[in-house]
């Protein structure tokens, strides 16, 4: 591209940011495309029905639970592992897995809660979040990343985080008694 035909917003002499696609799972520099990033090839994105089937298979085979008994709808489930009550739903663009830690008072200082949440370390895929005055453990898996292994990991990370020191600290401080 001639210098006088530089795209708007780019400094003269700079190269456009380029991308290429390879089978690598990591970002690789692509000098021939202006120093951009090489993106990994992702497999076909599963459909909502395929994700639901995979989720039910994981519940049955890896956690020895009856998915039909736990099904709330064709794409939502409620179940318990240990002391943690969990729910999962196939959402518009992701699979959501989460569990309730505790309810909080309606008049809680939500800014203080969010400051504490910002300091809470995630565990694997799971994070501690606030939702409708509840503290929850939560994982959101984009459809492109949903596999049997990632579903199992999401559930196990939720259970592990619910029993981790950071969750105990937050529930001890914010639980509605």
**Gap between the Cα atoms of 57 and 113, Å rounded:** 36
Residue 37 · residue 43 · CB < 8 Å: no
**Gap between the Cα atoms of 92 and 94, Å rounded:** 6
Backbone angles phi, psi at 111, to 5 degrees: -65, -40
User: Which sequence spans correspond to the domains of the chain?
Assistant: 3-40, 48-174
Predicted pLDDT of residue 50: 95
Can you list the pairs that 55-58 forms with residues at least 24 positions away whose Cβ atoms lie under 8 Å?
55/88, 55/90, 55/95, 55/151, 57/148, 58/148, 58/151, 58/152, 58/155
Q: In what side-by-side order are the strands of the sheet with 76-81?
A: 71-73, 76-81, 84-90, 94-103, 134-142, 127-131
- CATH number (3.30.1460.10, 2.120.10.30, 3.65.10.10, 3.40.640.10) of 48-174 reads 3.30.1460.10
Among 119, 112, 157, 164, residue whose Cα is nearest residue 138: 157
Among 157, 162, 166, 173, residue whose Cα is nearest residue 119: 166
Whole-structure pTM value: 0.75
The whole-angstrom distance between residue 54's C-alpha and the CA centroid of its chain comes to 17
Q: What is the pLDDT along the chain (177 residues), one digit of tens a residue?
A: 444 444 444 445 544 443 333 443 444 444 444 444 444 555 689 999 999 999 999 999 999 999 999 999 999 999 999 999 999 999 989 999 999 999 999 899 999 999 999 999 999 999 999 999 999 999 999 999 999 999 999 999 999 999 999 999 999 999 986
Residue 19 · residue 31 · CB < 8 Å: no
């Amino acid at each position: 591209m001639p210098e006088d035909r530089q795209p708007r917003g780019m400094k003269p002499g700079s190269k456009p940011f380029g991308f290429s696609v390879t089978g690598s799972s990591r970002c690789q520099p692509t000098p021939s495309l202006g120093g951009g990033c090489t993106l990994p090839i992702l497999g076909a994105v599963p459909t909502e029905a395929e994700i639901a089937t995979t989720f039910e298979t994981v519940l049955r085979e890896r956690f020895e639970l009856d998915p039909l008994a736990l099904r709330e709808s064709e794409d939502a489930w409620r179940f318990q592992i240990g002391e943690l009550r969990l729910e999962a739903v196939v959402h518009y663009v992701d699979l959501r897995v989460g569990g309730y830690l505790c309810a909080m008072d309606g008049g809680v200082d939500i800014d203080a809660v969010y400051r504490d949440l910002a300091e809470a370390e995630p565990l694997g895929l799971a994070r501690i979040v606030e939702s409708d005055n509840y503290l929850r453990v939560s994982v959101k898996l984009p459809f492109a990343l949903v596999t049997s292994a990632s579903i199992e990991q999401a559930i196990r990370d939720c259970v592990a985080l619910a029993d981790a020191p950071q969750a105990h600290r937050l529930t001890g401080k914010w639980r509605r008694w």
